[in-house]
Structure formats: structure tokens, C-alpha cells
Amino acid sequence: MAHKSDRVPRLGSLENVRWVAHYLGVSRNTIHQWVLEGHIPYINLGVTGGRRIIRFDPAAIEEWLLKRSFMPDQAQPAALTPREEIDQDESPDDTDPEDPATDLDDQVH
């Protein structure tokens, strides 16, 4: 999936897989997988010696990353549980590590 823009990046400004992996904090294998799945913008420079040569426009990567960012006032992903729901699940007999009355280390058996 190539990045489509009115701006054409200069070849010297393009980055490789290693740079993108470091920038995003993921492995190079993850970047290759995202390229294959069409999840990340890249530029295909062709094939040499049976290997595809791909590069990344740092501006396109930054734009792609910003589109996937959540701001505090936006809805959170479903995988995250609001703190209120976590607090409701706690049972009333939980021990409080700050409460000396519930310190299990001081109890005699």
C-alpha cells in the first residue's frame, strides 16, 4: 500500500525497515508483516536479486501514527476497561497493604 500524497519524497529522505522498526519500537519482522498486510505506508522501489526494496517516508509514517493515536477525550479501545468497572469487581474482604490491621505477616498461626 503506497502512500498517496501531492508531495513526492526525495529518495535521500526515505528510511529503511530498521529505522522504522526503531522509530516505532517494534521488530523488523513486525514491519515486514505490516507491509505484507498493507497496514503501514511504504514505497516499493522494485526488486533486486529476488528481494523487494522498500523504503518509508518519515512524514507518511508520522501521519499514519497520528491517525492511530487516541486523545484523552476520545473513546478508548474496547480492550481497555474503565477504572470504575475494575473498582466494582473488588471484593470487600480484600486486604489493604497499607492497613496494619490486615497485615498478614504479623498474624500468629
* Domain coverage including residue 19: 1-68
Q: What pLDDT, on the 0 to 100 scale, is given for residue 8?
A: 63
Q: What pLDDT, on the 0 to 100 scale, is given for residue 56?
A: 96
> Would you give the end-to-end CA distance of the chain in angstroms?
66
Q: Is 7 helix (H, G, I), strand (E, B) or coil?
A: coil
- Give a yes or no: residue 15 inside a domain: yes
- Give a yes or no: residue 107 inside a domain: no
- Give a yes or no: residue 5 inside a domain: yes
Q: Provide the residue-wise pLDDT of the chain in tens; the chain has 109 residues.
A: 444 555 666 666 899 999 999 999 999 999 999 999 999 999 999 988 988 899 999 999 999 999 988 777 666 556 545 554 545 555 455 545 554 444 444 444 4
pTM score over 0.95: no
Q: Structural domain tally of the chain? A: 1
- Give a yes or no: residue 58 inside a domain: yes
Task: Concatenate the DSSP letters of all residues of 27-61 into one string.
Answer: -HHHHHHHHHHT-S-BEEEEEETTEEEEEB-HHHH
Q: Is 107 helix (H, G, I), strand (E, B) or coil?
A: coil
- Give a yes or no: residue 19 inside a domain: yes
